[in-house]
Each structure stands twice: as structure tokens, then as C-alpha cells.
Structure 1
Amino acid sequence: MISTEAQKGGGGRGGRGRSRGRVFGSRMPILIPNRNPASAHYYDNKDGAKIVKASHFELDYMLGRKITFFCMATGFPRPEITWLKDGIELYHHKFFQVHEWPVGNDTIKSKMEIDPATQKDAGYYECQADNQYAVDRRGFRTDYVMISY
């Protein structure tokens, strides 16, 4: 089995997606060994949490402006979404808000906002969706830019 990222010829975790015209002839396909039935039941469970839509870009933000990331996940039971920064769970505070909308019995939409953004907000953010069957994550890198006149 060849991973989706290997088939596309680029991307990978934290990458920028498609190769944009660059040729990666030396890339080797990533082979995933056959799983035993118990692990296949866990990892490939049809009811497991799966992120189906998410912010998919690196974000350069201006200091004092708003940072926004989006994540939507499905699964049954409906997954919970947790936001992390540099591997540490984020909690609500005055400048950090999460808005969530359940959709039907199996989908959740989540939007994370930081307003106003400071230098300390630069880093690697992840949304993690999980239910009793599976966990799925998507990551987003962000850094600030300084505008000089």
C-alpha cells in the first residue's frame, strides 16, 4: 500500500501540499506493512474519528490581528475536537476562543481564534479529533510578519 502523500509526490506532515512543479524522482513510496486483524479493526474502524476538512496552509499573521483555524470531523459517536499548540493542549482565555457547531449525529465543526495575535502565538497548531474508536490530527504552522514602512 502506498501512502497518499507519497503518491502526490510531496506534502507530508507540516508540508505545503503538492510539489508545485518540482520533481521528486528519488522519493521512495512509503510501504505500510500488513496489519493484524485487531489493529486493522481499530485503525480502519468506519465509526472512528476522521478530520474531513481543515485549514491546510501555513499562516503568516500580522501582530495585533486575528489568527483563525478551522477543523471539521466526523465519526460515531460524534468526535470531540481538542486544539494544541506545540504539542500542548490550549485552554480558553481572554484572547483565545473556540467556537463549535455540532452537525447531525456524527459531525462537529470547530473554529479556533486568537485575537489579538502576539509574537508568542507563533508555532505549530493542531486540531485533534477523537472518539472511542480513533484519533485523527491535522497541523498548521504559523509565524508572525513585521511590516516596515
Structure 2
Amino acid sequence: MWSKKLLSVLLMFVMVAFDACQSARGGGRGKVARGRGRLYNSRMPVIIQHRNPAAKNYYENKDGAKIVKASHFELEYMLGRKITFFCMAQGFPRPEIIWFKDGIELIYHKFFQVHEWPMGNDTLKSKMEIDPTTQKDAGYYECQANNKYSVDSRGFRTDYVMITY
């Protein structure tokens, strides 16, 4: 059966890993976790080990979709003006780019447009525009590039600014 020492070490490892994940997501119990008289920094790097060759081929495939350029992370816009986000992805075959708002895929409507420019056999530039903007356009946008080898994404947070005179 399991010894008490082995169980305590295993529990300590799980607690430290949980704190590291929570801190990376912005939550958790704080910056320091205590265990057996030692202090552990909860912002320690999490090392992901690939368990089989198929996982390594997926996550590190040289032909996988990768976003190589993207807009800035945060954007404040004035109501009634235009929001523009940009993504450029590489991979072979050339990736497709899909746009999301708050986790839901965006579909075309008269105030939302996507412009795409294929470049060579392996690159796609995509620009997403909303014009004119409203309060409902504030949120978290994401461009997702994917091909048959991998998926990559970038996120952009927006909020509106009201200017009063």
C-alpha cells in the first residue's frame, strides 16, 4: 500500500501544480503555498512533458499553423468608430483563420467584415473589422489559425470609451 511519506509528497506536488495553474489563470490561493515548513512559489513554470510521439508531432509539427503577427492585446474604441484586428498565420497547408467573440464564432453581418490575403503557399493575412461599433462590441476577440497539423490562437480584449464634452 502507499506509505504516508509518499502520499504527502504526492499531495504536495498536486497542491503546488494546482497553485501554479491557478496563478497562471489569475486565481488561486495567493502567491505562496506552505508545506512541511517550506515555502513554494506558486508562479513556478509548469513543464509539460509529451507522453507519446504523436503528441510531440502534433504540438511541435514544423508545418503546423502558427500565428506570426497579430494586433495588440487590448484596444479601447470610441462608440460609432471602427474596430480593426489583424492576424497573420503560417503553416503548410496554408492555415485558415476563424474569428471569435467571447468564445463564439463570428458570422458575417452588415457591420462585420473579414478581409483575407493569401501569401504564397503557406501564409494567410486576415483583417477583421466592425464598423460602426456599439456597446455590445466590447468583449474578448480571438483569431484562431488551424490546418491539419495544429491550431494556434491570439486573443484581444476591447472596451469602449465615451468622450463627453
How far the C-alpha of 1:69 sits from its partner, in A, is 0.2
Q: What SS class does the counterpart of residue 138 from structure 1 fall into?
A: strand
Listed one character per residue, the Cα deviations across residues 10-49 of structure 1 (whole Å, up to 9, x for unaligned) are xx78xxxxxxxxxxx8731222224321110111111110
How far the C-alpha of 1:123 sits from its partner, in A, is 0.4
How far the C-alpha of 1:122 sits from its partner, in A, is 0.4
Q: What SS class does the counterpart of residue 54 from structure 2 fall into?
A: helix
CA distance in 1, matches of 2:136, 2:117: 28
Q: Does 1:76 align with 2:92?
A: yes
Q: Give 1:54's aligned residue.
A: 70
Normalised by the length of structure 2, the TM-score is 0.73
Q: Give 1:18's aligned residue.
A: none
Q: Does 1:116 align with 2:132?
A: yes
Q: Give 2:48's aligned residue.
A: 32
Q: Which amino acid aligns with 2:162?
A: M
Q: Which has the higher contact order (CA 8 A, sep 6+)?
A: 1
How far the C-alpha of 1:56 sits from its partner, in A, is 2.3
Q: Which amino acid aligns with 2:142?
A: E
CA distance in 2, matches of 1:118, 1:73: 29
Q: Which amino acid aligns with 2:103?
A: G
Q: What SS class does the counterpart of residue 56 from structure 2 fall into?
A: helix
How far the C-alpha of 1:98 sits from its partner, in A, is 0.4
Q: Counting helix residues as a fraction of each chain, which structure ranks higher?
A: 2
Q: Give 2:146's aligned residue.
A: 130
Q: What SS class does the counterpart of residue 117 from structure 2 fall into?
A: strand
Listed one character per residue, the Cα deviations across residues 91-133 of structure 1 (whole Å, up to 9, x for unaligned) are 1111000000000000000000000000000000000000011
Q: Which amino acid aligns with 2:64?
A: G
Q: Given the alignment, which residue of 82, 107, 113 partners 1:66?
A: 82
CA distance in 2, matches of 1:131, 1:124: 23
Q: Give 2:60's aligned residue.
A: 44
Unaligned residue ranges in structure 1 (runs of 5+): 1-11, 14-24
Structure with greater Cα Rg? 2
After TM superposition, where is structure 1 displaced by more than 6 Å over at least 4 residues in a row? none
Unaligned residue ranges in structure 2 (runs of 5+): 1-23, 26-40
**Aligned residues, how many?**
127
CA distance in 2, matches of 1:39, 1:130: 16
Listed one character per residue, the Cα deviations across residues 50-92 of structure 1 (whole Å, up to 9, x for unaligned) are 0000012200100000000000000000000000000000011
Q: Which amino acid aligns with 2:164?
A: S
